Structure 1
Amino acid sequence: MKNYWTISRKFEQNMNRLQKPKKETFKKRLQNYLIKFKTKSPQITEKYKYFLAGFIEGEGSFYVGLKKNSTSKYGLKVDPAFSVTQNKTGVVHLIAFMVLFQTGRIDFKSGSENTYVFKIENRQSLVEKVIPFYKSYVLPLTCSTKKQIFNNWVNVINKLDQGVHKTSEGLAYEILPLVFASRTKGKREKSLQDYQKLVLLGVRQ
């Protein structure tokens, strides 16, 4: 009987692996975009890199999302991301960002059928690809306000990599203030103090 259940369990595990959809490769995803937008993969020259740097300066965003998450230790998930927005007529430049960074996705911007967004959320890609590019091609020429926003965003990522978010105090008093400092002023659903209270009280809604 023991052998039967062992064989049955292994059979079920093998079937689950077979049924699990294969993860889309970057090469395949890029090819799908080229077909969808009926364009060719652009050549990334040094001159084009500076052109793309201009897009980041004008339409780029360094953002840290805060999401309530019942599976997270303190009920809050911190998600750094980088994005560039562009009208559909210039979507080829978003594809160029994909080619440049060898990662990312392109989707419709929420609430618009004429605007697309290129986005990278993988933290390793942000550290190894986006940050070095920005420091080399954009940071030396950008304004002081955008420099500060970028530096705060980078500090959030560094603290996440250091595990600061693994304590409630570290998340509430070191990371969250940097998150809000990296955001431009505008309408916000919750304040810094609201999120700090959520973390410190362990409230999960």
Structure 2
Amino acid sequence: MRSVRTISRKDLKGKDLGYFLAGFVEGEGSFNVSLRRKADYKVSWQAVMSFNVSQKDPTILGVLKKELNCGIIKVRKKDLLYSYDVTNPQDIIQRVIPYFQKFPLLSESKRKNFAIFCKIAQIMDKGGHKNLSGLRKILELRELINEGKGRTRKYGINDVFPD
């Protein structure tokens, strides 16, 4: 007969915590790139990378924030939903991406989204988002993230490049 052992929070350290948080993000997290109109920008648009996890209980979000050592936790007043957000490009490149490279996501769809997100981060880190050809490449890649039903975007590639 197999025995079952309950794992407490104090048992989750190092790799165990890393894999636990990766599993949590697997189900609840998202890697996104949004667009904002910016009249004062050379290309008139700002691409914004974000890593986000939302929950009704902020406990695990706090653990994730402490582990990644970046981002903010905020609460939406209308439904008391907590959200952990990282939008600083350097934090994404230096903390978020390496963390999930060390503790990889398991599902094919989340791995694919993360890989695309990493490619976009590389382009943006080299300043590609500041010219039209780089922005086009970012938006083409962005179209491949979270494909399928339920995905809504305020602005799409056709808003920027109405060819």
1:134 to 2:100 alignment: yes
> Unaligned stretches of 5+ in structure 2?
1-9
Change (3 A) 1:110 1:177: farther
Partner AA of 1:131 in structure 2: I
Tell me if the contact between 2:54 and 2:83 (Cα under 8 Å) persists in the aligned partners: yes
Shift of residue 131, structure 1, vs aligned partner: 0.8
Among residues 33, 45, 64, which one is paired with 2:13 in the alignment? 45
Partner AA of 1:184 in structure 2: E
> What are the within-5 Å matches in structure 2 for residues 16-165 of structure 1?
45-46=13-14, 47-88=16-57, 91-109=58-76, 111-113=78-80, 115-139=81-105, 142-165=106-129
Structure whose alpha-carbon radius of gyration is higher: 1
Structure 1 stretches of 4+ with a deviation exceeding 6 A read: none
Partner of 2:135: 171
* Percent pairwise identity: 27
The structure with more helix, counted as a fraction of residues: 1
Q: Distance in 1 between matches of 2:11 and 2:86?
A: 20
> Unaligned stretches of 5+ in structure 1?
1-41, 201-205
Q: What's the TM-score once normalised by structure 2's chain length?
A: 0.82
Tell me if the contact between 1:55 and 1:84 (Cα under 8 Å) persists in the aligned partners: no
Q: Distance in 2 between matches of 1:105 and 1:43?
A: 25
Partner AA of 2:13 in structure 1: T
Partner AA of 1:164 in structure 2: G
Change (3 A) 1:190 1:165: closer
RMSD: 2.1
1:184 to 2:147 alignment: yes
Change (3 A) 1:43 1:153: same
Tell me if the contact between 1:108 and 1:117 (Cα under 8 Å) persists in the aligned partners: yes
- The alignment covers a number of residue pairs equal to 151
Shift of residue 110, structure 1, vs aligned partner: 7.2
Partner AA of 2:124 in structure 1: L
